[in-house]
Amino acid sequence: MEFLLLEKNAGIAVLTINRPQQLNALNKQTLSEINTAFESLREDDAVKVVILTGSGEKAFVAGADIKEFAHFSGEEGSELAKEGHMTVFNLIEEFPKPVIAAVNGFALGGGLELAMSAHVRIASDNARMGLPETSLGVIPGYGGTQRLPQLVGKGRALEMIFSAKMIDAATALEYGLVNRVVPQAELLGAAEEMARSFGLRGVDSIFSDFYGPGYRRFEFRKHGLHGKGFIYRGRGRNGRLGKHQGQGMMGNSPPVVGRLAKYLLEKVAGVSL
């Protein structure tokens, strides 16, 4: 795997997204490698718990990869969002073993959506989280409009999405978005400690209760995680009125994706492009 690091020790698998120069931004290959890794870990009986984190100290995942998605058509964007739901985000949410997201630094856009797909989240004290898509007149494309209200409540979720503002780790803990906040140097150790406490207990029946027959159908059809069933109308920074229905983050305006990624990396995360 080119963009992932995988370590296994005493029943715990640590999966690290390893694109530090791009703040671990998600491209198609990284998404594909995440899918491959989780499918392999599903079949590995020696692995009891998975920890998902990002390399470096600046970011868990800063969003989408600007170079790859900037010129996507609406159809390509819609297909990417749908495929991402099926092969990564819902795969993690429905994974039959506990998945802990160790959120180090920025978790923005698709990065926060990836963390929310995990079963439990631990954040470093320098973590910053947000869904800034609406500042550009689009919506979170990987289930953020559905998973965030489940974690923090509808009112706080709408405030975060509508305002497009980031929250710090202390606020995320207050909201219930993360389970624990620790100093950055202690993050992986805290995640491993939690993983060991999970691994001592049988979790198969618990996951069967959560993700039994019909679960996927309920999530997709009722809550629209395929990108259907939601409409967002709003004005982007250029003042143009946009309507995005069933297209996820990509909508029908390909340049928006590039502007969003550029905003995340340059203005928010301080990376010069």
Neighbours of 246 (CB within 10 A): 16
Residues near 41 by beta carbon (within 8 Å), at least 6 away in sequence: 13, 15, 47, 50, 97
Q: Which of 88, 77, 86, 90 is nearest to 141 (CA)?
A: 77
Q: Which value, to the nearest 10 degrees, does the dihedral of the CA atoms of residues 33, 34, 40, 42 take?
A: -170
Residues near 21 by beta carbon (within 8 Å), at least 6 away in sequence: none
Residues in the chain: 273
Instruction: Give the separation between CA 114 and CA 265, rounded to whole angstroms.
Output: 17
Active site residue 133: yes
* Catalytic-labelled residue, pool 33, 68, 93, 133: 133
Active site residue 43: no
Q: Fill in the DSSP letter of residue 94.
A: T
Instruction: Give the separation between CA 174 and CA 64, rounded to whole angstroms.
Output: 27
Instruction: Give the separation between CA 167 and CA 18, rounded to whole angstroms.
Output: 24
* Catalytic-labelled residue, pool 113, 192, 193, 266: 113
Catalytically annotated residues: 113, 133
